[in-house]
Structure 1
Amino acid sequence: MNNDNTYPIGTPGKPWGKEEKLAWLNVQSIKRSYQDEVLSKLDSSIKGFAKVKYGSLPSNPERYPLYAYMSEKWDTSRTSVLITGGVHGYETSGVQGAIAFLHNQATKYAKHFNIVIAPCLSPWGYETINRWNISAIDPNRSFYTDSPAPECSQLMSYVDSLPSPINIHIDLHETTDTDDTEFRPALAARDGLSFSDWGIPDGFYTVANTSNPQLDFQKAVIASVEKVTHIAPPDANNQLIGSDLVEHGIICYDKAALFLCGGFTGANYATTTEVYPDSPKTTPQECIVAQVAAITGGLDFALSLPTKNPREC
């Protein structure tokens, strides 16, 4: 951003058109390798799982294939779980946390659940360390029918093709200092709005569904993560990112109405995780471990429930 607090692309107060979006795209650059940091870790076989190519980014299909791992022996009587990472490509711990769970924990839990793991939905965003895709679209506001974001439409089509519906969805995210220095100012500029700094929560928290928060499930995730890293305290208004705190480390969003990844499956148990790797109280590696703890905490909670119809689990 410029020193006068205006974004360097576009005219303040005027939404971007094609010219401004192209100008934004032209200043993006590759900063890390999807091949080296993600695809190379997906080469090995995982006991009990099949590797599935469910699509690719049309901008560069060979460079950006999209992969998921799914339970090899799908049992429609079991609870089905979806784990997603990298909806926002810059959110490193979500991607690496999903991969770490895949390699270190997934086989154990596959004895009890049908599991699908899609570790990196936005590989171009991963390489360029971006929240948006190449069209300046936020994938995490684009999970709807005929979505213009291929990152969303291809995952939705794949999930729709599964043998049974998703009952548990854990969507792994993180917040970094660049949310307030780059991504939210860019969003305000793109939409012709003013930027207001709301501050970044220092620690882990979860975002539940407003209409179906399942707070016991959320609290189990928080309790598991709290063994690894600290939970974000509320601000002076008892809020996190402008939303009221409903329990320790838990806020709610209307995920379906906002077309968020965490809302498109309609899963009875759904949570979106957030960690803050720029905190002086933690490390990026600890945040990856926290993402794994969030997954295991949620799945352990499900295992503790009385036997139910999997659609209700």
Structure 2
Amino acid sequence: MAGGQQPQENDVPVYLFTGFLEAGKTKFIQETLEDKRFNSGEKTMLLLCEEGEEEYDISAMPCQEIYIRTIEEPEELNPAHLQELLKECGATRVVLEYNGMWQLQQLFQNLPDDWAVYQEMFFADATTFLQYNANMRSLVVDKLNTCELVVFNRFGKDMDKMEFHKIVRGVSRRTDIAYEYADGHVEYDEIEDPLPFDVNAPVIRLADTDYALWYRDIMEDPKKYDGKTVSFRGIVAVDPKFPPNTFAVGRHVMTCCVEDITYSCVVAEWEKASVLQTRQWVQVTGKIHVQKHKLYRGKGPVLQVQEVVMTSAPEQEVATFY
């Protein structure tokens, strides 16, 4: 379960705020709960997964039916305990301040089935963010991966936005970026990120260095590629459990470090798929159709293969974003 889900009628909405200590989460949540547009009478459980320097002032909030509960250890993040806390409060929604040192997957895997993350925001102190990224890259990537907005507060006029922009875009092209200055002035990132290939070409030909960007883009916006022809070099995966004439083709992609390398592939259909073997490198050309498929457990981009040419591995076998 990740951020930005479409609300269902009986869902318990979760507003998720992530970031490291002293990143500005508490201040923003306090201001949000003081805003009558957000806090107009709903019983709210404020779930805290870390203790910051600032404390919440419920008396300043227009609706004071705010019930603070704490999670001290990640093991407490389990569906039964979370439901128990919610029932104890009688709340109908959750505002969650997450511990920046905990992986988000621990939270997403343990939310009760009827809890849905409606909004996810990541806060970072611009004066320390680059150090966090250099020393704890995996935790930074974890927080950037699913958030809808990252706010760099304490941003200085002498700081290079492009340096921050590239770090965010190396993880997600859909995340909005805001820079908040010491005087409270906020600027939104308007740096354009043109894709390094022509999505309107008769055949979208991907260079080896473009695969990671293309794969993320097609998974985030598959409709953009529906009906278009694409050609790229990838490594084959076959399995007897796959439907007939079906194989997977893609690349191993590294987002932040060796530990997170994953095989990022698309489903491919070809009448001669039976001749292929796992770990073969191929140059594959075909037309993308966004459709339901067993291997996606729903809709996804399916490559209707037109041509397969055996080839060698690229100079850099693991694809990266930059």
Would you say same fold, with TM above 0.5? Answer: no
Larger Rg: 2
| TM score, norm. by length of structure 2 | 0.28
More helix by share: 1
| TM score, norm. by length of structure 1 | 0.28
